[in-house]
Amino acid sequence: MVVLGDSYTVDSAEGAGYVPLVSEAMGWATVLEAEDGTGYLAGGLAADPAPYRERLDDVVAGQPDLVLVQGSTNDVGHPVAELRAAADHLYAALAARLPDARVVVLGPVAPPGVDPAGVGAVRDVLLEAAGSAGLTFIDPIAEGWLSPADGLFADPVHPNGAGYERMGTELAEALRDRGL
């Protein structure tokens, strides 16, 4: 599995995130393609910002059986039409370059410090784009993974250890429920 994501996935590289829990629960080897502050449109915090579409070569290099595209609340505030176009482009490129891989879209969570209407708009666009592409969409907001937020966030945006543990447990269960 290659996980294309933002700081939530970066936190997994540091051992605190959700991905190690999912990898262990599923028995999968995992490659992280993660950058803080990134998203479908958001360029991130690095000196050389790279939204998801610009990291496609790195995803393909991992030769995954499954690609998990995570997030992203970093796209809140971007025009929804541009977000939809970016998602459509990414999903089509993944299908063309990794025709045998399953692609799963993990929608954003709803952190207490991010505009809930904006997060909902991002989720709705990604849900529609994933559906149009025939991809599996997992919806942490609808499934209430980190709600209520009490005791699950280290700051207004990022889960703490308990939040990541819940996210990892819920994601593994959702993947199993979808036959993965």
State how far the Cα of 87 lies from the Cα of 61, in Å rounded to an integer: 20
pLDDT of residue 12: 73
165, pLDDT greater than 90:
yes
Distance in angstroms (rounded) separating the CA atoms of residues 152 and 133: 32
Mean pLDDT of 134-160: 94
Mean pLDDT, the chain, whole residue set: 93
- Ramachandran class of 15: left when φ > 0, alpha when ψ lies in -120 to 50, beta otherwise: left
pLDDT at 78 over 70: yes
Confidence of residue 11 (pLDDT cuts 50, 70, 90): confident
Number of residues written out for the chain = 180
Share of the chain above pLDDT 70, in %: 97
Secondary structure percentages of the chain, helix, strand, coil, to 5 = 45, 15, 40
Task: Summarize pLDDT for 103-128 with one digit per residue, the tens.
Answer: 999 999 999 999 999 999 999 999 99
CA angle 45, 50, 56 (to 5 degrees): 145
Residue 46: the pLDDT is: 66
Q: Is the dihedral of CA 86, 92, 93, 98 positive or negative?
A: positive
Nearest CA to 40 out of 73, 7, 67 is that of 73
The structural domains of the chain, ordered by start, are: 2-177 (3.40.50.1110)
Percentage of the chain modeled with pLDDT above 90: 86
Tens of pLDDT along 40-70? 999 877 666 789 999 999 999 999 999 999 9
Q: Tell me, what DSSP letter sits at residue 55? A: G
Tokens of 75: 């796209």
Is the pLDDT reported for residue 3 higher than 80?
yes
Task: Give the full edge-to-edge strand order of the sheet including 31-34.
Answer: 31-34, 2-5, 66-70, 102-106, 136-138
